[in-house]
Structure 1
Amino acid sequence: MPTKHKTEKSVSSNKTWLRWLAFTALKLAFALSFALAIFVIYLDAKVQKTFEGQRWQVPAQIYGQIESLRTGDTIDVNQIKKSLVINGYSKVRSVNLPGQFAQSAHRLIIYRRAFTFPNVELDVTEDVSEAVQLTIDFTDNRVSKLFVEGNAVEQVKLEPILLARLVPDNKEDRVLVALEHMPTLLLDTLLLIEDRDFYHHQGVSPLGILRALYNNIAAGRTVQGGSTLTQQLVKNMFLTRERTLIRKVKEAIMALIIEVRYSKDQLLEAYINEVYLGQHYANGIYGFGLASTFYFDKPLAELNNGQMALLVAQVKGPSYYDPWRHPDRAKKRRDLILRLMFEQNLLSVQEFEQTLDSSLSIRKHRRFRTEKYPAFLQLVKRELNQHLSTYQQKMGIRVFTGFSHVSQQLLEESVATQLDQLEKSHHQKDLQAAMIVTDIASAEIRALVGDRQSGLAGFNRALDAKRPVGSLIKPAIYLAALERFEQFNFASLLADEPITLSSDAGDNGQGKKWQPKNYDGKYRHQVPLIDGLVKSLNIPTVNLGMSLGLENVANAIHLLGFEEDIVTRPSILLGAINMSPMQINQMYLAIANQGELEQVHAINNVISSYGETLWQFEPVATKVISTDAAYLLDYALMQVAITGTAKSLTWRLKNNKVAGKTGTSNDLRDSWFVGFDDKNLVTTWLGKDNNKPTGLTGSSGALLLFTEFIKKQGVVNKTNKQPDTIAMTVFEAQTGNAVTSDCANTATYPAIVAGVTVNENCLKERTDGQSWLEKLFSFTKS
C-alpha cells in the first residue's frame, strides 16, 4: 500500500509539473506572439512611412532652353546639329532609333527621345511622352515645312539639354524611371538573374534559395543569389548592411509585409530605382535610370543587349565588376548573363554570338562631365531657394530654364579671347570680366559668365561684384528729364562750364568740395541735351541732375528696377553708386524693352517627378517708362553707337544697328558697356579684383567683349518705330527753341509734339544767294 501511495503521489506531482510547464510555455508563447505582433506593427509602420512618403532624396535636374521651331522661322542648322550632339544624339545616314538625326541639303530628320515638356502646346497629333520622329524642311535658312511622325504641324520642340543634376546631401544620385519605361528585355534579364519566381512567391522563396545553391555548386562559383528581389529591396531601402541574425529576421518579416501591402509592379519599380549600381567619386549611383547614363552615356531605351547584360551584372557587385577598373571581370560576368539569356530564349543565336564578341562599350572616362556652367547654376540655385523649400528640391524636380548653350559658348570664347588681347595690348594682367545675355522679350537669361576662366565655380562677379557704374547711370537721369517733356527735349541747352558743388556742412561748418570734370577735360559753354547723353559729358549731366533734383533722379533709378537704398548726393549723377552686373542688367532691360519692366530670371518652370507644376514664372510686365520717353531714350542710345562714345561699333559691326551705353569709373578701375539689338541685351563689366586701374575705358575695354560676342551671335538690327505723338522737329542750336525749317544754324531731333511750340523769331537763312563772306566783301557800284 505505501508503494502504491508513493506511485500515485509521483504521478500527481508529474502532472502538476507538466501543467505548470504547459501553462508557462503557453504564457511564453503568448508573450512572444504579443511581442512579435508589436514588432510586426512597428515594422509595418516603418515600411508604410518610407514607401508611401518621400522614398528618396532625388537630385533636381536642370534643363536649358526648350528650342522650338515654327513654319517660316529662320533656322541655323549648324547650331541645331551642335545642340543635338551636345545632347547625346548621333548623326546617322538613316534614322531608325531615338537619339539619332540625319541631314540632307534641305531636310533635317530628328528622332526625338521620349520627353515630357512643361506646359505643352504642340499639335495634338504628337504624344510628347513618347519618342517621335521630327522632320524639318528648310529653304534659304527658313523653315518651310514641319512634320511629326509624317503629319504636318506648325510647331515642333527639341529636347532641352540637361545642364546639371543637383545631388542632395546624402550623396545618392539617381534618375527615377517608371516601370513602363524600362526595356522589357532588361526587366526579363533582371528577373532571370536575381529572382525568377518574383511574381510567384510572397517575399521569401525557400525554393529559390535551394535553386541558387544548386546552380552555384554546379557552376563552381556564385552565379545566382538566394535572396528574393523583395528581400534585396527591403535590405537596401530599410536596413543597414550588418550581417546578423536579427537583421535577417527583420528582412524576412518586412519582405512579407511589403508583399502584402503593395503590388508586384510597385515593388519592382521601387527596386529598379533603389538598387545600388556604382560609385561616381563621392556620389553613389542608384537605379538603372542613372546607371545607364553613368556607364554608357545613353538613356535606357537606347541600350543594346550587351549593355543591358552589363547593367544587370553590376547588381551582383558594382565595385568587384567595375568595368573601368576590372574590365575582364566585368566581361566574364556579362558573358555569363548573356549565356543565361540565350538559354532562356531571350536572345537568338545570332544576337548571342554577335553580342558575345562585342566590347563593353562603356564611356571612355569614368568621370561624368564636370559642371560646365557654374555661374549660371549659382543663379538657378538662388532662385530655387526663393521658390521652393529644401524638402521640395530633393523630390526629383525638373527645372526648366532659358539657358542657351550656344550663347554661353560664344560668351566664354569672347571673354577668353578679348581679355588675353587686352592684357597684351595695354600691358595689363589679372583682368576679370562678367557678362550677362538676356532675351529682351521674355526676360530670360540666356547666358552668364562670372569669371574669365570657363567652368570655374568660384566668386560670381556677374551676381556679386558690386562696382561703381560710372556713366551707365546717365540714361536714368536723362530719362527723368525726357519724361518732363514740357520742360526738356533733345535741344534743351545744358551748361558745360566748370562747377563746384558742396556737400552738407560738417562740424567745421564747411562741406566737402566736389569739382567734376568732363573726361576730355574740355568745356563747351553749352550743349544740347542729347549731346550730354550721346557723348557722355559729365558737367552737363550734373547740371541736368541738379536741376531735376537728386530725389527725382533716385526715383528714376528705382523705377528702372534697382531696389537698394540710394544715398542722394551729387556724385551719384556720375555713377558713384555700386551695382552688380545683374542689377545693371535689370535696369537696362526696361530701357531695351520699350519701357516695360520685367523681372530677369533663369527659371521658367519647376515640375515635380509626377508632372505637376510646382512653380512657374508668370510674366507681369509693368510700364515704367512712357511710350514717348522710351522711344526718345532708345533713339539717343542708338546715337551713342553711331556718333557717340561707342561710335566704333559702326565699323566694328559693319553698320548693323544696335544701341548701348559706355561706362567708366574713376581712375579707369571699371570698364562697362551695355548693348542691345532687337533681341538680346548684353551687359559687360571688365575690371580687377584688387580694384587697381585697368587702363581701359568703357569703349576701349568692355565694348570690345560685347562686339566679339554680338558678331558671333548675329545682330538682329534695332528697329525703333516712331509713335504718332512724336515728330522730327527743327531746333535752333543757339537757343534750343523749336523753329521753322528756313531758320539758320539748326538741328533736327525727334520731340514730343505736345511739348513743342514753334518760335518763328530766329535768324533766317540768306535769301539773296550771297554767303556771309560775300556780303562782308561786297561793294556798291558808283
Structure 2
Amino acid sequence: MATRKLIKKPQKGFTKGKVEKEQKAKPGFTHWCAMTAIKLSIIFVTTLALYSIYLDGKVRHTFEGQRWQVPAQVYGKVPTINNDQQINFDHLEQELLHLHYKRVAKVKLPGQYARNSNKFIIYRREFDFGFGLEAPAKVSIEKKRDEVFRLLEDGQPLHKVKLEPILIDRILSAEGEDRVVLSLDQMPEQLIDTLLFIEDKDFYHHHGLSPTGILRAFWKNILAGETVQGGSTLTQQLAKNMFLTRHKTLWRKVNEALISIILEMRYSKDQILEAYLNEVYLGQHYANGIHGVGLAAQFYFGKPLKNLESHEIALLIAQIKGPSFYDPWRKPKRAAERRDLVLRMMFENHLINKNEFNQALLTPLNIRAERRFDKQTYPAYMQLVRRELKQMGAANAMQSGIRIFTGFDLHRQTHVERAIKQQLALLEKAKATEKLEAAVVISDIRSGQIQAVVGGKSVKFSGFNRALDAKRPIGSLIKPAVYLTALEKFNTYNFATPLKDEPISLESSKGKYWQPQNYDGKFRGQVPLIQGLVNSLNVPTVNLGMQLGIDKVATTLTALGYEGKVPMVPSMLLGAINMSAYEVNQWYNTIANNGLYNDAHAIIRVVSGQGDVLWSKNNIVDARLSPQAAYLIDYALARVAKDGTAKSLSWLFPEQIIAGKTGTSNDLRDSWFVGYDQQSVVTTWIGRDDNLPMGLTGSSGALSLFANYLKKQGSSSRFDLLPEGIEFATFELATGNAVMDDCANVAYYPAIRDSIFYSDKCLQQRPEQASWLEKIFGSGSD
C-alpha cells in the first residue's frame, strides 16, 4: 500500500522570500545600532576632547597668569628707633596695640611685647620693608630720662632698629576684590594639616575626584549627626570657587569634575593646595567677599596668619562649611560649637595635645571687636595718597599687589582728630554758632613728608576734603612772605627799620580806593619792622609791601613753594589770595626748615609684589632762602608765639619755644594758624562751608585748635643755631640805626653782620642811672 507524503502548507501571506529577508534583517539592524553607537561615541569623545581643550586653555590662562586682583597695601611711616632719640613708651604701646600685638609677662613669640617704666621688649613679626623679607626679631629698648640709651636686636647692640608699620588701607581693584596672597611655606603647618583632615584626607592620593572620600565623608557625617567632613575634594572646591558659578546644576558638576582632572594633570598638589588656600571663600565684609586664609586671619583676628593660635586656626577652618551660617559676630554660639568640633578632630588626629585641646575649648572666640575692617579709617590722607599715585602713573598698578610706604604718623593723626572734635564743639558752644568746619595738614619739617591730614569735622567721612580742595583767603598768613622779602634786602631793612603806621589810601586801576585798617582800628605813627609782623599790623605791612614791590613779594612766595598764581594787587599783601591748607603748609615748611625746600609728599616708596622698588622719593636739598634771612624770619615767628598775636602759647607751653603765625580773613570768615616746633609744621583752618562770618579770629579759633592738638601730642622745643653772618646788636627804634648802649629807646635784635653800621649819634641819650644812695637821699643839687 502506498503511503502519502504529507506536505505542510505555508500560511497565507508567508513566502520563502520573506523568511530569507527577515533572517537577513536581524544582523543588519544590530550592525546599524552598533555603528550608530560608535559614531555617537566618537562625536561625544571628540566634543569632550574639544571642550576639555577649551577648559584646559581657560584653566591655564587663569592659573598661570594673574590669578587674583591683589589690592595695593598702603603703610604708614616705618617706625625707626635710634640711640639717643627721645622716646615715648605710651605712644609706642599704642602703635603696637593698633597692630594687634599682645602684651605678655614674658616675650616668647612674634607679635608679643612686654614693658616696664624703663624697658620695652618687642618681638617684631617678619616683615618686608621694601628690601626683602626680614625675619622676626626680638627688640629691646632701654631709656633714661625719656631718651634711648641702649638698643638691642636679638641680643646684639645696634644704633637703629625698624619696627613694623601700620597698614593704613588697601586699595581695591575696580571689581572690589580684596585678598592677602601667601605662599604655601608662609602658612602654618597646623592649619594645612587641619584643613586636610577636615576637608580632604586623601588629597595627596587621589587624582581630583575621590569616590572613597565621598563614601567616607557620608559615613562619618551620619555617625556625628552633622557635617564634619566634606565629600568634594579640595581640587573640586578650587575648581568651583575659581572657575565656576555657585549655581547647583548637573552641568556645573560636570565642569567641576573636568576642571579638577585638568588641574591635577597640569599642576602639582602643592600648587593646587596653595591656590585653594588663597581662593577659599571665608566670609563677607559688607559688599566685599573675604577670600583666602591670609585675609581671613586679618578679618577675624586682626593679625597675620602665622600668628594664629590653635583655637583661631580651628575657627578659621570651621568657616569653610558656611561663613554665613557660622558667622562668629552674628552667631557666636553656633560658631563656637563648630570650632570646638574642629578642635576635637585636631586632637583625635594628634595635631594638638590634650592640654592644648582643653585650654582651647575654654578660650573665647577672640575675634575682633568690630566687624568693620581696620581700613578706610583715614579717608582724607588716603585721598592724598591716591592723587599722588595717579600723578606718578601708578594708578593702573593697583591689581599687582604693590606696597606703598608713606609718611603717615598714627599718633599725630589720632591726636589731631580728637582735637578737632573737642575744640569745634567748645567753639560752637562758646560762640553760639554751628556748622563750623576744620582742616588740618601736618608735615615733617626735614623731609616734607605729610604726617596727617584731616579734611573736615567728620574725620572718618570720605567726602569733600577741605585740607586739599577748599581754597580760602589766607589773611595775615601772607605777612611772613612780605617781611622775608625785606629781610633778604639786608642793606635796607632790619628788625628795627621804622615802618609808617598812618592812614593810607590806594587807588585801583578802576578808580576805587582801598584804605586798609589795623585790626584794632588804631594808628601808631611808626613801628619797628619786627613789631609789624609780631603784632600782625596791616598798615605797616602794606606800606612795606608797596615799597618792596608786589612782584617781589610774589617772587618770594613762589620761591617758598607756592605754585599758584599770585594776584598783583595791593590787597594781596594782607592775604587776599585763596589757598588750601595743603598749599599753605608747603611754603611754611620751607620757612620752618631754615629756607630749605622739600616737595610735600605722602608717598615715600612704592614696591612691587615681587619686592622690586618701582618708585622712590628723592630728597633733594634746595636752598630757597639765605641762611641768614631764614634765621631772622624764624626768630620773628617765634616772637609771635612769645609776645605777639599767638602769645597764649607762651602761657600754655611756658617751657617750649614754638613759632607760628595767625591769620584772619575779612568779616571773620576764616580763622587760620600755622605753628611749628622742631619736628613738624601744623596748618589749621576753621570756617564754614557757606562762607558766613563765624566771629573767630586766627587767635580765638585756629590757634586754640593747634593748642589742643599740642597738649595731646607734646612738642619738641624749637632751636636754631646762629648761622654765620648773624650777630645781635642794639638798635635805636626811632631811626633803625645800630647804636651803642648809651642811647635811649633801643632794642636788642639779631641782624646780618654786613648790614650793621654803628652810629655815634643818638636822638636821645639814655639818662644816667641814679645810685642807690641818690635814690634814698637825693642827688644833692637844688
Q: 1:96 aligns with which of 81, 88, 108?
A: 108
Q: Does 1:335 align with 2:340?
A: yes
- SS of 2:517's partner is coil
Report 1:226-625 matches (<5 A): 226-369=231-374, 371-505=376-510, 511-625=511-625
CA gap of 1:261–1:481, structure 2 versus 1, over 3 A, is farther
Q: 1:61 aligns with which of 73, 77, 81?
A: 73
Aligned partner of 1:47 in structure 2 is 59
Please tell me whether the aligned partners of residues 99 and 303 of structure 2 are also in contact (alpha carbons under 8 angstroms). Answer: no
Aligned partner of 2:210 in structure 1 is 205
CA gap of 1:29–1:689, structure 2 versus 1, over 3 A, is same
Please tell me whether the aligned partners of residues 291 and 311 of structure 1 are also in contact (alpha carbons under 8 angstroms). Answer: yes
Q: Name the stretch that deviates more: 662-671 or 438-447.
A: 438-447
Question: Structure 1: how far apart are the matches of 2:715 and 2:363?
Answer: 49
Question: Structure 1: how far apart are the matches of 2:757 and 2:319?
Answer: 85
Report 1:77-226 matches (<5 A): 77-119=89-131, 129-226=134-231
Aligned partner of 1:697 in structure 2 is 697
CA gap of 1:215–1:752, structure 2 versus 1, over 3 A, is same
Report 1:643-654 matches (<5 A): 643-654=643-654
Please tell me whether the aligned partners of residues 172 and 398 of structure 2 are also in contact (alpha carbons under 8 angstroms). Answer: no
Aligned partner of 2:50 in structure 1 is 38
Please tell me whether the aligned partners of residues 740 and 758 of structure 1 are also in contact (alpha carbons under 8 angstroms). Answer: yes
CA gap of 1:664–1:354, structure 2 versus 1, over 3 A, is closer
Aligned partner of 2:674 in structure 1 is 674
1:247 is displaced (CA, Å) by: 2.0
TM-score (norm 1): 0.90
1:52 is displaced (CA, Å) by: 2.4
1:31 is displaced (CA, Å) by: 4.3
1:763 is displaced (CA, Å) by: 4.0
1:412 is displaced (CA, Å) by: 2.4
1:601 is displaced (CA, Å) by: 2.0
1:577 is displaced (CA, Å) by: 0.9
Question: Structure 2: how far apart are the matches of 1:495 and 1:474?
Answer: 16
Please tell me whether the aligned partners of residues 277 and 288 of structure 1 are also in contact (alpha carbons under 8 angstroms). Answer: yes
Q: Name the stretch that deviates more: 33-42 or 266-275.
A: 33-42
Question: Structure 2: how far apart are the matches of 1:723 and 1:574?
Answer: 30
1:681 is displaced (CA, Å) by: 0.8
Instruction: Describe the superposition over 1:78-130 as per-residue Cα deviations: whole angstroms up to 9, x where unpaired.
Output: 2212222222122221222222211234322112222222347xxxxxxx633
Alignment: residue pair count: 762
Question: Structure 1: how far apart are the matches of 2:382 and 2:767?
Answer: 69
Q: Name the stretch that deviates more: 582-591 or 706-715.
A: 706-715
Instruction: Describe the superposition over 1:321-362 as per-residue Cα deviations: whole angstroms up to 9, x where unpaired.
Output: 223333443334333333332332223333334434544343
Instruction: Describe the superposition over 1:220-245 as per-residue Cα deviations: whole angstroms up to 9, x where unpaired.
Output: 54332222111111110111112223
Read off the aligned partner of 1:289 and give its amino acid letter.
G
CA gap of 1:757–1:34, structure 2 versus 1, over 3 A, is farther
Read off the aligned partner of 2:587 and give its amino acid letter.
M
Select the structure of larger CA radius of gyration.
2
Read off the aligned partner of 1:653 and give its amino acid letter.
F
1:50 is displaced (CA, Å) by: 1.6
- SS of 1:642's partner is helix
Please tell me whether the aligned partners of residues 180 and 294 of structure 2 are also in contact (alpha carbons under 8 angstroms). Answer: yes
Aligned partner of 2:708 in structure 1 is 708
Read off the aligned partner of 2:307 and give its amino acid letter.
E
Aligned partner of 1:775 in structure 2 is none
Gaps of 5+ in 1: 121-127, 506-510, 772-777
- SS of 1:641's partner is helix
Please tell me whether the aligned partners of residues 649 and 655 of structure 1 are also in contact (alpha carbons under 8 angstroms). Answer: no
Question: Structure 1: how far apart are the matches of 2:362 and 2:752?
Answer: 80
- SS of 2:152's partner is strand
Question: Structure 1: how far apart are the matches of 2:757 and 2:26?
Answer: 129
Gaps of 5+ in 2: 1-13, 772-778
- SS of 2:161's partner is strand
Aligned partner of 1:718 in structure 2 is 718
CA gap of 1:696–1:267, structure 2 versus 1, over 3 A, is same
1:666 is displaced (CA, Å) by: 0.6
Please tell me whether the aligned partners of residues 605 and 616 of structure 2 are also in contact (alpha carbons under 8 angstroms). Answer: yes
CA gap of 1:359–1:492, structure 2 versus 1, over 3 A, is closer
- SS of 2:105's partner is coil
Question: Structure 1: how far apart are the matches of 2:96 and 2:563?
Answer: 40
CA gap of 1:363–1:657, structure 2 versus 1, over 3 A, is closer
Aligned partner of 1:125 in structure 2 is none
Read off the aligned partner of 1:450 and give its amino acid letter.
G
Question: Structure 1: how far apart are the matches of 2:687 and 2:665?
Answer: 10
Aligned partner of 2:634 in structure 1 is 634
Q: Name the stretch that deviates more: 666-675 or 598-607.
A: 598-607
1:661 is displaced (CA, Å) by: 0.9
Read off the aligned partner of 1:264 and give its amino acid letter.
K
CA gap of 1:47–1:770, structure 2 versus 1, over 3 A, is same
Question: Structure 2: how far apart are the matches of 1:202 and 1:666?
Answer: 79
1:475 is displaced (CA, Å) by: 1.1
Question: Structure 2: how far apart are the matches of 1:215 and 1:768?
Answer: 109
Question: Structure 2: how far apart are the matches of 1:202 and 1:550?
Answer: 82
Question: Structure 1: how far apart are the matches of 2:430 and 2:234?
Answer: 68
Read off the aligned partner of 1:200 and give its amino acid letter.
H
1:217 is displaced (CA, Å) by: 4.2
Please tell me whether the aligned partners of residues 471 and 574 of structure 1 are also in contact (alpha carbons under 8 angstroms). Answer: yes
- SS of 1:145's partner is strand
1:25 is displaced (CA, Å) by: 5.6
Please tell me whether the aligned partners of residues 384 and 602 of structure 2 are also in contact (alpha carbons under 8 angstroms). Answer: yes
The alignment yields a C-alpha RMSD, in angstroms, of: 3.0
1:676 is displaced (CA, Å) by: 0.9
Question: Structure 1: how far apart are the matches of 2:436 and 2:450?
Answer: 24
CA gap of 1:312–1:597, structure 2 versus 1, over 3 A, is same
Question: Structure 1: how far apart are the matches of 2:236 and 2:98?
Answer: 40
Read off the aligned partner of 2:50 and give its amino acid letter.
I
Please tell me whether the aligned partners of residues 491 and 528 of structure 1 are also in contact (alpha carbons under 8 angstroms). Answer: yes
Aligned partner of 2:749 in structure 1 is 749
1:515 is displaced (CA, Å) by: 1.1
1:454 is displaced (CA, Å) by: 4.0
Question: Structure 2: how far apart are the matches of 1:348 and 1:770?
Answer: 94
Question: Structure 2: how far apart are the matches of 1:335 and 1:656?
Answer: 58
CA gap of 1:522–1:398, structure 2 versus 1, over 3 A, is same
Q: Does 1:73 align with 2:85?
A: yes
Percent of aligned pairs sharing the same letter: 53
Question: Structure 2: how far apart are the matches of 1:648 and 1:173?
Answer: 49
Question: Structure 2: how far apart are the matches of 1:370 and 1:768?
Answer: 71
Question: Structure 1: how far apart are the matches of 2:312 and 2:386?
Answer: 35
- SS of 1:661's partner is strand
Question: Structure 2: how far apart are the matches of 1:767 and 1:670?
Answer: 47
Aligned partner of 1:508 in structure 2 is none
- SS of 2:700's partner is helix
Please tell me whether the aligned partners of residues 90 and 100 of structure 1 are also in contact (alpha carbons under 8 angstroms). Answer: yes
CA gap of 1:767–1:716, structure 2 versus 1, over 3 A, is closer
TM-score (norm 2): 0.90
Aligned partner of 2:734 in structure 1 is 734
Read off the aligned partner of 1:548 and give its amino acid letter.
L
Question: Structure 2: how far apart are the matches of 1:216 and 1:553?
Answer: 83
